[in-house]
Structures are given as C-alpha cells and as structure tokens.
Amino acid sequence: MILVTHAIVGGAIGRLIPSHPILAFFLGFLSHFAADAIPHWHYPLISFKHNPKNPMQADMTMNKWFLFDLFNIGIDCLAGLVLSVIFFHPSLSLNTALISIIAGAIGGVAPDALQFIYWKMPNKPLIALQKFHITLMHSKINIDSRHFLGITTQTLFAAAIIFGTQWLTR
C-alpha cells in the first residue's frame, strides 16, 4: 500500500482520538498492518530487489536509482502527512488534535521505514516485526501489475476513510 493511504488511515485515527497523540501513533502503527492485509498496489521502485522465494530477503540496493526512489517515497510520505492535516484539521492551529493527527499519520507509515532499516541492519526485534509484517499480515494477492485497479482501489479506500472520519466527527 502506498504511504499516502497509510498516513491517511493513521491521521484519521489521530482525528478520532484528538487528545491522545501517543495512542494515535501506536494505533496508527497497528493500522498499517491491518491495511496491508487488504489486497493493494505498490508503485515500482527501481532499486527494490524482491526475492519471490523468500520475501524476507528483499532489499533496496544503493545504486544510481536509490536517490530517485527515496525522493518518490519522500513525496509519497509528505503527501500523506499534508493530506491528513488538510482533511482532518484544516485550521492548522497548533493544538493536541493536530499533534494527534500527525502522530497517527507518522505511526501509519512507520512500519515501512522500519522495513528499510531491517533490510540494512537486520536484528532480532526487526526480524520479528518483518516476519509479522510481510509473512503474516501482508496480502498475498499481488495487484502491482494492475496499475489502474491498484490506484483506484487505494483512492476509494482513502476516500472512504476520509468521509467516514468526517462523518464520525461532526
């Protein structure tokens, strides 16, 4: 799932519990795994190396394309944070609600950042987290080659989260 979607789900959680930013981060973190259980699309990363026989051996290689991929990932993450704030706290006034929304959004994308750290420095806690993330929670249905379907379903999922959250917080 792309980071925009994960951030929106986490930001929605922060909006629903505006006075609890630490809980928002934690629940946003957990929401990542629940969202990854839904069949979803990933945009291609040129430096990503996938091992279909052993997904625990995936990696991003530090080649000439790595910075390009890192830029795309950064834009994806930043867009998710910005959209979370726009949809869930448009006043931009600094208060606990805004902090909860940002904390939830960051929690929603954090497992993928930890995944990158695992690829570069595997250790026991990250190995366990990666096994949980990739082998237990991540959808086994791959729609990465179906760009239109993948983009459409994630857009509809994010829109449902946005509208549902706005409806619940009226």
Query: What are the residue boundaries of the structural domains of the chain, listed by start?
Result: 3-168
pLDDT tens series, the chain, 170 aa: 899 999 999 999 999 999 999 999 999 999 999 999 999 999 888 888 887 788 778 788 888 899 999 999 999 999 999 999 999 997 767 899 999 999 999 999 999 999 988 888 888 999 999 999 988 899 989 898 999 999 999 999 999 999 999 999 98
Structure tokens, 19: 């006075």
Structure tokens, 58: 């995936």
Give the Cβ contact number of residue 169 at 10 Å: 12
Helix (H) or strand (E) holding 68: helix 66-88
pTM over 0.85: yes
112 CB-side CA count, 13 A: 24
Q: Rounded to the nearest 5 degrees, what angle is found at the Cα of 105, between the Cα atoms of 157 and 43? A: 55
For residues 35 and 124, give the distance between their C-alpha atoms in angstroms, rounded to a whole number: 24
Strands (E), 53-94: 59-60
Contacts of 141 (CB under 8 A, 6+ apart): 39
